[in-house]
Amino acid sequence: MLIDSHAHIQGKEYAGEVEAVIARAREAGVEKIIAVGGAGDMSSNTEAIALANKFPDIYATVGMHPHDAKDVGADELKKLKQLAAAPKVIAVGETGLDYYYDHSPREVQRRMFAEFIHLARETGLPIVIHERDAAQDVADLLRAEGAGKLRGVIHCFTGNDEAARAYLDLGFYISFTGIITFKNADALRDVVRNVPLERMLVETDSPYLTPVPHRGKRNEPAYVRYVGETIASVKGLSLEEVARVTTDNVRKLFGV
């Protein structure tokens, strides 16, 4: 059984279809789904929690994406702290830095990321990090603000071996998406080869990053199987072994 460690199935893309999406995931051998908040606006957090409260195999996280860091103020941080106390909230995030799009000014992103690091430390929850073209600053902030007291995962990892090693040295897990199934992803598959399975998670990032052979369609948690199969192929392992270890990793990190 696999766990989709990062999905946004509370989004409008699944309106009226959530039960069917969850059913297809179960049929595909996906035993749990983590509905990640913070994409777009605050409603993504409350909707993730509502979904987790409705379905026993769904868990939630609360945060704000670095794209939207410019829209987070004291009121939003206070609300997020309250939401983080909900029984089925298992992590802070997603949060982090995105220097590829720069939808929020970089200094604002860094300031808000530090706030979420503090929230994770205060609550004792692990942290779910989005990082794109910002590996050095993410690692530096984790060292400076986390003080070695953080657990977490770098979701949708697309960096190189050097970045992966820095995160592993900080004690973080690294999560891979359907990107590793893409034809032009040889360099990322090399990273998969080098990251220990015991420090790896699998995810879909639904509705985005749909793996081959469904690329071009809306992604959903059932397709996390293709991520697991690709990791198994790259590492010369069985899918059952990849599923067993990555599922155990999710349980260790998030306590589910």
pLDDT at 41: 84
pLDDT at 197: 98
Task: Fold for 2-220+239-254, please state it.
Answer: TIM Barrel (3.20.20)
Contact in structure between 164 and 194 (CB atoms under 8 Å): yes
Whether pTM > 0.75 for this model: the answer is yes
Q: What is the pLDDT along the chain (256 residues), one digit of tens a residue?
A: 999 999 999 999 999 999 999 999 999 999 999 999 988 789 999 999 999 999 999 999 999 999 999 999 999 999 999 999 999 999 999 999 999 999 999 999 999 999 999 999 999 999 999 999 999 999 999 999 987 889 999 999 999 999 999 999 999 999 999 999 999 999 999 999 999 999 999 999 999 999 999 999 999 999 999 999 999 999 999 999 999 999 999 999 999 9
Using a 10 angstrom Cβ sphere, with 0-12 exposed, 13-18 middle and 19 or more buried, the burial of residue 73 is exposed
Cβ neighbours of residue 20 under 8 Å, at least 6 residues apart?
Answer: none
| Bridge partners for 4 per DSSP | 33
Provide the residue count of the chain.
256
Q: Which of 70, 12, 25, 27 is CA-nearest to residue 203?
A: 25
Q: Where does 84-223 have alpha helices with state H?
A: 106-123, 135-146, 161-169, 186-194
Question: What CA–CA distances, in Å, run from 138 to 42, 95, 118, 141, 192?
Answer: 23, 10, 14, 5, 20
Instruction: Give the angle 179-184-185 at the CA atoms, nearest 5°.
Output: 45
pLDDT at 15: 95
Domain-by-domain residue ranges, the chain? 2-220+239-254
